[in-house]
Each structure stands twice: as C-alpha cells, then as structure tokens.
Structure 1
C-alpha cells in the first residue's frame, strides 16, 4: 500500500490568492490545485505550476474523473494525470466519491452514488486500478449531497465498504460531513466511528451557508470555517493521525489575508495533537 507522507497545513490554490500565497509562503505548508485546470493546459500554465512545485508540495485534486460512472475511467485522462503527478512529484492525488458524467453527457455537478455493497465493491476495485495506473497514493473524498438516495447502506457504511476493496486512502471533507449530518439528520461522530479513520490521510476545511428556515445548508466554500467543523477536526485528530489539512476558499476572498492564514495556523495547531 502506498503511504501518504505528512504535509502539514495547506491552502487551496486559486488565482485570486496567488499574490497572498507568494507573500506569505512561509505560513503555508503545501498547496492543492484543481487537476483539470492544469491537466491539458497550455505550456505556460504548466510552467507556472512547475515553478510553484519548486516552492511547495502540490497535490492535484480532481473534479471530473467520475470514478462512479458505469464505465472505466478514461484512459487518456489517466495517462495525462499520471504525467502531471510525476511532473510535479505530487505526494498524492485525489478526486470525489461520485459520478459527474454519463457516456453522452458531462453533468457539471458531483452526483451521489447508489449506496449498495455491489456499487461500493465495484468502485473500490476501480479506485485501486486508478491508483496502480497513476503510481501514487489516491485519496477519495466524501461529497455534499442534497438529495439522499435511499439504499441499504449509510454513507459511512458505503465508504467503509469502498475502502475494504482497495488500498487507497480518504480525503475527509469535514465541512461536507457537517453539512450532510445537519441536512440529513445523522450523528457525525457516529459517522467517524463507522469509517476506517486510520485511512484518512487528508482533511478539507471550508465554510458554508447555514439555513435554519427548513432550507438545506449549502457547501459554498465562501465563508470562514465554522466552529462545528473545527470541533470535528479536534475529534478526528484525537482518533487517528491526520497527515494534512487543507483550507478551501473559492469565493468571497477576504481583503485581510490574515483571516485565511489564521485558519491555516489553527489547523496546524490541531494537527500537532494528532495521535
């Protein structure tokens, strides 16, 4: 089994944050980039990525692998991903436990999967093939879902079954966990007790939109990390060794860079207590 190394506390790279990242590089341990922004990118963009990789460990985080589709992952995509991972010496790569396309249609959203043992086993075996093809650790991320597809397995049971059928690791998005728990009325601590937390290599931390009027809470990546998510991180690092945390902000970028830097510092402090 590939073993992801410890990276520390990082930040999701966005063009709007490039200047802040450059000016405060000493406060950021590593960066995560969106895979598809660079996978088939022009030479100048790949050159900028290689330059970043001389200063930070960089992890490609995908949104279009669609590992949950009925078909196998596209071979051209996998070859390009393997080349990208090798080019920047990425410590691992990641994508989502979902599907985003059919044979004919790119959906443009992360769609939840039917939670059956058969689907979980199929997905786990496919994830293993992807990891073997790319030649680096592959992390699978839990998504936010707003329609709960009825099935014999809970989300946590489904994830545990996937992990039983591969040697991959988990990217646990604690914001997604918090939002799903509130929207679908389950206990996030019970979720942590069901998944194999020892396979969690990385954590995502972000802010969302809370709704208390009967509407679902939303995963917006546009607000500070809320107290509930920090509490979940403290709970998680009390249960297992977490190798990396990542603060995500996709919109509503703060004028004061210290808002994000403080979140990176707080995550680093919590990581220091990881068992």
Structure 2
C-alpha cells in the first residue's frame, strides 16, 4: 500500500468549481464514490483535474460490510471501476451495516460486537478485496446504542483488523463522540488500538443534542476543542496522515481553509516535538 502523506480534505461539489479561483490546495483529497460515480457533467472536468493532480483516496457509504445479506458484488465491481478510472489505491468504508434483506437503509447502523461478527466481517473483507484488488480500510463508526456486545469496541476492532487483514481509518472525532456517549476514556481507546494497522485518520465536527443528551456525529459543525486535543494526543502516538470531513452545512472555502491550516499546524508542532 502506497504511503499517504500530509493533510487532506473531503472533496465536495459545494466548492469544487470554486477551487480554480482559489489558491487553497490540500495535500490530498478524499472522495465518496457514491457521490461522484454519476456526477453531473458540469463537474467532470474540474473533478478530474483535482483527483489526477494530487493523491486521492476513496471513502464509501454503501458497502455494508457488517451485513448478513449476500455481498452486492455488482456494486463492488462498480466501485472497482471508479477506483481504476481515477487511479485511486485507498478505499475505506465504515465498520457498520446499512442493508437488510437486500434493502439499502442509507444509514450507518451499529454492529453486534461479538466473535461471530468478527468472522462475518473477515469473510466479507476477503470477498471485497478479491474484487477490488486492493486492501480494504475500515473506519470506526459512531453508535448510539449497541445491539449486543460481549467485547469492548477497541477489542472488537482490533480482532476484526487482525483476522481480516484490513487496515484502519481511525476517526478521532468518532472516538471522542463514542467516549462521551458511552462513558469511556478516549485516550484509553487511542492507547489500545492496533497502531500498526492505521492507514489514515479523520477529524470532523459534531453537536450536542439536549433532548437525547448525546453527542451527534454530524460532519456539519466546526471541530471542537476536545477533538483537536484528542488529535494532538493521537498524533504523538500514530504517525499517519489526517484529514477533515465536512459533509453538511459546508461553509465558504476560506473557513475550511482556516480549519485545514489549524490541523496542519498541529501536525507540524507534534512532528517538531
């Protein structure tokens, strides 16, 4: 797997056409295949210019790696075509499920944290990798309830990574959100995750919902101080590229650039000791 370097940003149609009028240029992009496989023609030239001019990774939404349904091989083949067309080596997906009885829910639903689920995911990872001819990267997801668990989240993820051979996309915001919602120490999770498996990392914004008394992973808010601090702690242990996810309430590019530069400064400060 090629070494990804520096800091990235999720490429969104909201600002794609503005990039040619702006000097802002992250080290690399992350794109969501489902959002770009059937893009309007108005975006095609600008999209190709960006993804062919710098390293680009893909982060999917619909693979449903934890589903007990049969793998949708036709969908995975379309993902491979997209990856091949744009010369994308990294393909990540959420450690969750989103389909049931072959119906797509378009939600990232929580998995039972059990040995049986470890085995199910491991088998499906191998199926996916046989088709895409790349390593699959799995992201720790947020969850607000757990169907059933006889393992801690960090142990579950470590076992999935070990048995499947998959790499990990470590979402620092998701660790923070889950730690608050489920009363565990985020730094303990970072200490105990298998650092040799980390391919790259995410940070994002979330909000507090007073009615449910939960932190909600929205990707639609500025990144809070707690997540920035956890990122700094994480970078001291894990030398991996990191990027910002912003999917909702996308601000002007100038505001995204400020957050991006703040992230770059944190990375630089940690690297310089």
After TM superposition, the score normalised by the length of structure 2 is 0.90
Q: Which residue of 1 aligns with 2:258?
A: 262
Q: For residues 161-205 of structure 1, what are the alpha-carbon distances to aligned partners after superposition, in whole Å with 9 as ceiling and x for unaligned?
A: 101112221111111111111011111111112220221111111
Aligned-partner SS, 1:53: helix
**Alignment partner, residue 187 of structure 1:** 185
Q: Is it true that 1:236 corresponds to 2:245 in the alignment?
A: no
1:170–1:12 Cα change, 3 Å: same
Does residue 39 of structure 2 align to residue 52 of structure 1?
no
Distance 2:88 2:102 in 1: 31
Are 1:202 and 2:200 counterparts?
A: yes
Matches within 5 A, 1:102-181: 102-181=100-179
Q: Which runs of 5+ in 1 are unaligned?
A: none
- Residues 21, 28 of structure 1: 8 Å contact kept: no
* Relative contact order higher in (CA < 8 Å, ≥ 6 apart): 1
Computed over aligned residues only, the root mean square deviation of the Cα atoms, in angstroms, reads 2.2
5 Å matches for 1:45-124?
A: 48-124=46-122
CA contact 2:17–2:43 (8 Å) conserved in 1: no
Give the paired residue count. 271
Higher alpha-carbon deviation: 34-43 or 66-75? 34-43
Counterpart in the other structure of 1:253: 250
